[in-house]
Amino acid sequence: MKIVFYNYPLEILKIGTIYTFPIFLLDPVTEERVVFNYPDVEYTEEHQTELQAYVEKGAQLQIHEQFRDEFMSKLSVTESGLKNWNLKRYKMVELFLKRQEEFEALKNPEFKLQDTIQKINHSGNYEALRVRVRADLLGFPLDKDPVINFTLALVEHVFIRDLYPVKNAIMAYYIARELGLKDELVICEIILAALVKDLSFSMCPPSIFEQWEILKNNEHYLKHPFLSLYYLSKLDLPFSKELKRIIMEHHEDTLGDGFPRGKKENYIALGSFILNISEQIILSSTGIMPGGLDLIAVIRNLGKQNKMGDMNVNIPQHILESLNGLIPAN
């Protein structure tokens, strides 16, 4: 990620000068760009008047990075000056580089998933896996999709402790990757859904979270996928329908006994299944939910829901078993 065009103000151009670099003009609304003046053409008063008119209409003067040095020396522009004129881009690149750096630092080539899972089985400490997932996610591009950016911003904030939604997201990520999902946006949607699917817990009376039996019959809890979507809608971000669907259906089950709509397997998004499984694993492993989940059977069912691209249904048995180890016996 690098800056290709730098903005600069009109005032720095001097009439009567022959510039050896082209003057580009960008229409920020349509994101279209033209060459206003070619190199070695004298910059006249007429040019300035014309440019002034364009700039007043919102056009932006730009210099291509190829001519950056030439431009800076000719117009005596300092690095900080250029940065001030392009603060947003500089910040974004800085953030990206910072994350890349973090990504490189966290990327441990000796990471062994099986061992890590086994350790979690014993200790209940997700740190190793959390660090790994965080590292993986921070390598995602920042200029691809607003949802990716939002997810990464959240990951940066919350992937520092083993919070219940974070564990959930880690597990969902793990299952999604094992199923062969690779698209960055799809992965981010699953992670984001795992983090925000229960936003509306804050609208439920806290006491219901004391006992599983009370919780699963509480009217507020049974509406929570709806309400979480409501919260999400207030962020004014362009969330995809797929993401909303994942959140909406994350408590639906294969037989139609789920909530809030009682949908059946064929109509449930794969992401929702993944979230459902990961949540059950986490809740079971932490003792909140009674155990007894036939994990392998449920994960196998995921294979039927191939709605998010190619996926590998044949999850290695040992991985399934390792996950299964997280669930306490009945």
Residues 247-286 within binding reach of another protein (CB under 8 A):
none
Closest CA to 142 of 172, 111, 102: 102
Smallest gap, in angstroms, from Cβ of residue 319 to another protein? 27
Distances in Å between the alpha carbon of 202 and those of 91, 118, 195, 231? Answer: 34, 33, 14, 10
Q: Distance between CA 246 and CA 274 in Å, rounded?
A: 9
* 202 binds another protein per the rule CB under 8 A: yes
How far, rounded to the nearest angstrom, does the alpha carbon of residue 97 sit from its chain's CA centroid? 17
The Cβ of residue 262 has, within 10 Å, a number of other Cβ atoms equal to 11
Judged by CB under 8 A, the residue of 8, 174, 239, 273 near another protein is 239
Smallest gap, in angstroms, from Cβ of residue 279 to another protein? 12
Could you tell me how many residues make up the chain?
Answer: 330
SS3 string of 238-297?
CCCHHHHHHHHCCCCCCCCCCCCCCCCHHHCCHHHHHHHHHHHHHHHHCCCCCCCCCHHH
Question: What H or E segment, with its residue span, contains residue 40?
Answer: none
Judged by CB under 8 A, the residue of 9, 58, 124, 316 near another protein is 58
Residue closer to another protein by CB (options 67, 311) is 67
- Name residues contacting another protein, limited to 290-329 (CB under 8 A): none
* 203 binds another protein per the rule CB under 8 A: yes
Smallest gap, in angstroms, from Cβ of residue 201 to another protein? 5
- Name residues contacting another protein, limited to 158-197 (CB under 8 A): 158, 161, 163-166, 195-196
Alpha helices of 139-183 — where are they, by DSSP H?
146-158, 164-178
Judged by CB under 8 A, the residue of 66, 123, 306, 314 near another protein is 66
- Name residues contacting another protein, limited to 32-51 (CB under 8 A): 32-41, 46-47, 50
Smallest gap, in angstroms, from Cβ of residue 42 to another protein? 10
Q: Distance between CA 304 and CA 268 in Å, rounded?
A: 10
Smallest gap, in angstroms, from Cβ of residue 2 to another protein? 8
* 230 binds another protein per the rule CB under 8 A: yes
- Name residues contacting another protein, limited to 89-118 (CB under 8 A): 89, 91-92, 95
Close Cβ partners of 137 (under 8 Å, ≥ 6 residues apart): 151, 152, 155, 159, 173, 187, 188, 191
The residue type found at 166 is: V
Q: Distance between CA 187 and CA 242 in Å, rounded?
A: 12
Which among 83-91, 104-112, 265-273, 304-312 is the span making contact with another protein, rule CB under 8 A?
Answer: 83-91
Judged by CB under 8 A, the residue of 17, 233, 312, 314 near another protein is 233
- Name residues contacting another protein, limited to 8-37 (CB under 8 A): 22, 24-25, 27, 29-37
Residue closer to another protein by CB (options 18, 297) is 18
